[in-house]
Structure 1
């Protein structure tokens, strides 16, 4: 029997390796192995009376107690590590163990003994037991039944504060936060803060069937609140509510709620906080104390269990936290706008009189039709009645009217010609208001549909030969007269040169006569 206790006690007294080897009769290599393994597992002097050499051997080399049975020894560290991986179960690991035993011509442990030995090992040496929960798999969430309070500075009245609790069942690591409401906004915000506190995301979220998160939950159908579902999609997790009237589905959080009600809410019963921020600072202090309290039946605490056994299995956080969104429905008005909280946002005019979905966030308003986004706007704040209109949402005739500005009018006239530019500048300078001038110019611009740029430029040149105060009406009259004169001249010219122009007319000579 190796004198494990004596080796550790001599090492604690500062005896050299050579001295320990000479005193115990063990090799230097064995002494070094025992000392390094004891330091790695945190076994330090002074040792308790129960820590005999046999106890220390079982603690440092648990596999040795199984080797004496003649069966294939179990690799506990390997089993514990593999159980952390997705979809890996003890049944699968036992099957692989049996295959290995047959290959090595060894006797395997039965499945029952396999599970018993692993459970004994995990209870004694590890912070978590992975038979029941996998690390990073589930986050259970709920509201605590007990409430905290803050004090109104003006009235001295106590205002209720509701405590949100999130727990990781594998390590029992917990998060808590106080809010003034149990509405959807507080629920989503608390989830964001919980993920930030944990530094990662679990595969599954298990809430209760509260109305803020679950719209409908029956044996056949599960309907989540759209905002809650969108938050889960943002973090890449799945929401699986506990079954109705089945508290065992989230036993960890139910237990954590009771403990947190004692160690946080009750512990703050004599504290006087005048704002929610003050209260949450106190909650965070008590929460850290709670997570760092030592376990009563094994080494470590919730924090050490989380850092050593579960943190590595969490999925990484997205680059930005989820921003709260609210969903509404509205009908697109005849002016191709929707009304949201007395503000107006445009949608493509093709959706007039259609029912659309609206996604509201703090910064943006998104309009969706049949689950497809058709418009997006920056959210408006301030006085009621403001409009956010996108030019591409307008019909063509509306675009022409909206495009009317003095700069656009001068740019258009410059493209027509110098006479037109002089006319436009004269109109802008002489009209009492710019709006009247732009309306007049707009009617002239519409002439482009009937007349060429050359004809408009010629009319503007002609109007200055008639008057020094040109108007759009006079230009339109000149355009009509010029068009009429051009048509008459064309007819006259065709009449005068009609014979020469008919190349296929046969003369008298063709028929045997004499041409005149």
Structure 2
């Protein structure tokens, strides 16, 4: 505006255009333009001098959107919302849209002006926000687009994923190769990253990959249950980036590009037999990357982390997180559920027979839930086709059967009478199949409640005399009340006198 005031002042003083050009170093065309505008406005020199810079700018400077006054530009601007909407569709290019525009408006703008107008419109409609990263606030995670590989044996190379995490404030970076993007590998890599940083940030910002987010949303995404449990274990919030919004995690996107140059280039041409060897090599390159000074600065990511961000991170949970797997099963009629991965059965309380329950299991434990209530917990057993049983889960009658042992029956019989205990031991000896003997003993001892201990004792004496050892004999004796009859004492066998004609038992030895 100072130059404009000088041009008008000198012109009013009668100085020519060429002389003004030499005095204030402004092109003659620009001077002519300002003089022409001053005449067209019909302002006196006093009126011109009375106006401030802002008013002169409105009157003399060409507005940014001056070209929009053109009917042709107004026509193109009216088409821009629809053109940009079509541009989002897959396979649609600006060249296609320009041809369509020119077919409808033959007198329209050239291709370069058309593309430039779209570019300006998109910049104004989609401004980029500068994000101020606070110390200890967020950690951004993602998987690199380019994979690395391991080659256990010649010709058996396989690709592996590369996990990248970066702290927002200090930009300290963590890189690890993992087998896949499955939730087990993602959670383990995240846990390793937290231990590498030595603390917990306020939030983790992942991409919308299935192992972290079940359903993406612009406002509130639905997290994967296992990843949510991992976050709860370490006391950190998960804030997924918006779908198709890479700028929400631009830091980690940039970190991926940087590791291509700082780490991938160091691994080029090298072969690794396993993930451990590959991650050892990655760690070497990672330390160089983190300790290298920022471009144009005198400090590195590591120095900035130690100075600003380390003390702002929360404390780590001392217990490592164990990844849980889960499956829904139905409790079978015997009161057991089957863990298909191990082909092993686990007991649950018999009242849940026929119910659908959730098995949540780790490498060491199997937890069984019914409607979010823990109903059973067992140590994991990987033995196939076997059963793990908690006696408290069985019905009373089943629990009683499970507790049957010879010692238990003899103890109960001894409490009634020694003769009953002797008879029960003989029953156990004479039955070939143990369970058959247990049922007989249980039935015999039940008579103590029905007819009394004394009658049962006498019945056992009678059965012992008869040499019959089973339940029906005791039942028959008690039914016919034979136990109430005195037991006949056997007469002693008379001794055989010694005689020469009697050979005796020694003769037959």
Q: Structure 1 stretch 397-406 or stretch 435-444: which is displaced more? A: 435-444
Could you say what the CA RMSD is over the residues aligned between the two structures, in angstroms?
Answer: 2.5
Q: Aligned with 1:185: secondary structure? A: helix
Q: Mark the runs of 5 or more structure 2 residues left unpaired by the alignment.
A: 1-129, 486-509
Contact 1:147 1:265 in 2 (8 A): no
Aligned to 2:393: 393
Aligned to 2:375: 374
Q: Deviations over 1:58-104 (max 9, x none)?
A: xxxxxxxxxxxxxxxxxxxxxxxxxxxxxxxxxxxxxxxxxxxxxxx
Aligned to 1:463: 463
What's the offset of the Cα at 1:366? 0.9
What's the offset of the Cα at 1:428? 2.7
Q: Structure 1 stretch 424-433 or stretch 329-338: which is displaced more? A: 424-433
Task: Work out whether 1:359 is the aligned partner of 2:357.
Answer: no
What's the offset of the Cα at 1:277? 1.2
Aligned to 2:268: 269
Q: Structure 1 stretch 236-245 or stretch 433-442: which is displaced more? A: 433-442
Say which one has the larger Rg.
2
Task: Work out whether 1:477 is the aligned partner of 2:476.
Answer: yes
* Alpha-carbon spacing, 1:284–1:420, altered in 2? closer, same or farther (3 Å): farther
* Alpha-carbon spacing, 1:356–1:407, altered in 2? closer, same or farther (3 Å): same
Equivalents in 2 of 1:444, 1:196: separation in Å? 67
What's the offset of the Cα at 1:411? 3.3
Aligned to 1:405: 405
Number of residues of Structure 1 aligned to a counterpart in Structure 2: 354
Aligned to 1:278: 277
* Alpha-carbon spacing, 1:482–1:300, altered in 2? closer, same or farther (3 Å): farther
Equivalents in 1 of 2:398, 2:425: separation in Å? 24
* Alpha-carbon spacing, 1:459–1:156, altered in 2? closer, same or farther (3 Å): same
* Alpha-carbon spacing, 1:394–1:449, altered in 2? closer, same or farther (3 Å): farther
Task: Work out whether 1:323 is the aligned partner of 2:322.
Answer: yes
Q: Aligned with 1:368: secondary structure? A: strand
Q: Aligned with 1:145: secondary structure? A: coil
What's the offset of the Cα at 1:297? 3.0
Equivalents in 1 of 2:133, 2:155: separation in Å? 46
* Alpha-carbon spacing, 1:423–1:159, altered in 2? closer, same or farther (3 Å): same
What's the offset of the Cα at 1:273? 0.6
* Alpha-carbon spacing, 1:484–1:445, altered in 2? closer, same or farther (3 Å): closer
Contact 2:459 2:482 in 1 (8 A): no
Q: Aligned with 2:334: secondary structure? A: coil
What's the offset of the Cα at 1:407? 3.1
Equivalents in 1 of 2:456, 2:313: separation in Å? 72
Equivalents in 2 of 1:287, 1:448: separation in Å? 81
What's the offset of the Cα at 1:286? 1.4
Aligned to 2:172: 173
Q: Deviations over 1:295-324 (max 9, x none)?
A: 233333222222221121222122211001
Q: Deviations over 1:382-417 (max 9, x none)?
A: 33x211121111111111111112333333333333
Equivalents in 2 of 1:135, 1:316: separation in Å? 15
What's the TM-score, normalizing by structure 2? 0.65
After superposition, residues 44-55 of structure 1 pair within 5 angstroms as none
* Alpha-carbon spacing, 1:424–1:150, altered in 2? closer, same or farther (3 Å): same
Equivalents in 1 of 2:455, 2:285: separation in Å? 85
Aligned to 2:288: 289
Contact 1:338 1:345 in 2 (8 A): yes
After superposition, residues 304-315 of structure 1 pair within 5 angstroms as 304-315=303-314
Aligned to 1:436: 436
Q: Deviations over 1:140-173 (max 9, x none)?
A: 11111111111131x4232101111111111111
Task: Work out whether 1:249 is the aligned partner of 2:248.
Answer: yes
What's the offset of the Cα at 1:244? 0.7
Answer 1 or 2: higher relative contact order, Cα 8 Å, separation at least 6: 1
Q: Aligned with 1:170: secondary structure? A: coil
Equivalents in 2 of 1:453, 1:220: separation in Å? 78
Equivalents in 2 of 1:483, 1:228: separation in Å? 75
What's the TM-score, normalizing by structure 1? 0.64
Aligned to 1:346: 347
Task: Work out whether 1:193 is the aligned partner of 2:185.
Answer: no
Contact 2:218 2:243 in 1 (8 A): no
Equivalents in 2 of 1:236, 1:453: separation in Å? 66
What's the offset of the Cα at 1:348? 1.1
Equivalents in 1 of 2:149, 2:259: separation in Å? 15
Q: Aligned with 1:146: secondary structure? A: coil
